[in-house]
Structures are given as C-alpha cells and as structure tokens.
Amino acid sequence: MTGIGGQGIQLVAKLLAQAAMREGRQVMMFGLFMGMIRGGSSESTVVIADREILTPPIVPSAWALLAMHPEGLPALGRKAEPGGVLVFNSSLVTAPVWDGISRVAVPATEMAKAMGQPMGASMIALGALAATTGVVAVASLHAALGEVLPPHRRKLIDANTACIARGAEHVAAAERVAAWG
C-alpha cells in the first residue's frame, strides 16, 4: 500500500492485518513513512498467510497493490506480480499498464468527498480491494474497526464502515482476482 502521510495508509494496513487475524490468518505488517506527519511518503506491506510465518519475510513481489497517491507507484511497479491486482485511487493516480496486472480504478477521493467523509478515501479503497480479491471479507474489516481506531476516533466507526461498504459496492460488478483458492 502506498500513499502520502495523512491519507490513512498505516491505518488501513493495520485494519487489513487485524481483519485477516480475525479470520484466523497469520499476519505480519511493515510500515514505512518519512519524517513528516502529512505529505511525506507512506508505505505499508501486509503479509497474510494460511500457515505460520516463521521469520520476517523478504517481500520481493506483491500480488495485491493499493495506490492512493502517485508518489509511491514506481516502487510498486517493480514489485507487481503477474496475475495480481492494482487497486488505485483514480482521483489522484493515473495507473500505468503493467503486464499481467489487473487494474481496478476507484475514484476514492471524489467518492469520499461526495459522502461528506473527505478523510475516508483510503477506507473506500480498502473496501474495493477486499471486495475485488476476497483477501478478507468486507464484514471482517467492519468488525475490526473498533480494534484499530484510537479511542478519540471511535466516533468515526459508522462513517468508516460506510466508506468501506461504498468501496465494496463500487467494484461489485468488476472482475474478481481471487486471493485464496
């Protein structure tokens, strides 16, 4: 997952990881962000497995990618695994065509503004990623919100739930790229 500080990249990565754990998966998460609170590069890798992850894995390629801002896209391109999927915020990102990668355009920023939730774009994109891939159930994301939101943000659970659902609805008719066999 890539974006810039303030877009919620670290939060949605944590939410994806928590939802996967709720489903009985093994998870490791690695966050990387520059020294700025807002506007600096932000990236997170979430490794989800059916069996125990014995050591922190080296992640040379990624099957599912989420891009909220164009800044980190070149680095993701080097990791894009053929047969995988790129979910991108088409409000800000013009996604390149990578061989063997399915592209799912989600105008997340525009959708969030239309919902009156301008900070909800990353939740919309995460809902779209979950619905497109089945990497976790959308319901698991909803259930994990209370576990990952800090106490002062828990009043936003309903708004974030609506954003996740809106992202899932946006891709309801799209082609699926199944995460699990």
- Average pLDDT of the segment spanning 68-84: 89
At residue 176, the pLDDT reads 77
Let me know: does 101 contact 84? Beta carbons within 8 Å: yes
Q: Does residue 177 sit within a domain?
A: no
Give the list of residues 6+ apart from residue 160 with CB closer than 8 angstroms, or none. Answer: 120, 123, 145, 149
Domain count, the chain: 1
Tell me the whole-structure pTM to 2 decimals: 0.93
Question: Could you tell me the CATH number of the domain that includes residue 38?
Answer: 3.40.920.10
Q: Which residues pair with 32 in a beta bridge?
A: 43
Is 178 part of any domain? no
- % residues pLDDT > 70 (the chain): 94
Residue 179 lies in a domain: no
In a domain, 6, yes or no: yes
Tens of pLDDT along 43-75? 899 999 999 998 877 888 899 999 999 988 888
Does residue 180 fall inside a structural domain? no
Residue 176 lies in a domain: no
Residue 34 has pLDDT above 90, yes or no: no
Assigned domain for 144 exists: yes
* Domain membership of residue 39 as a residue range: 2-170
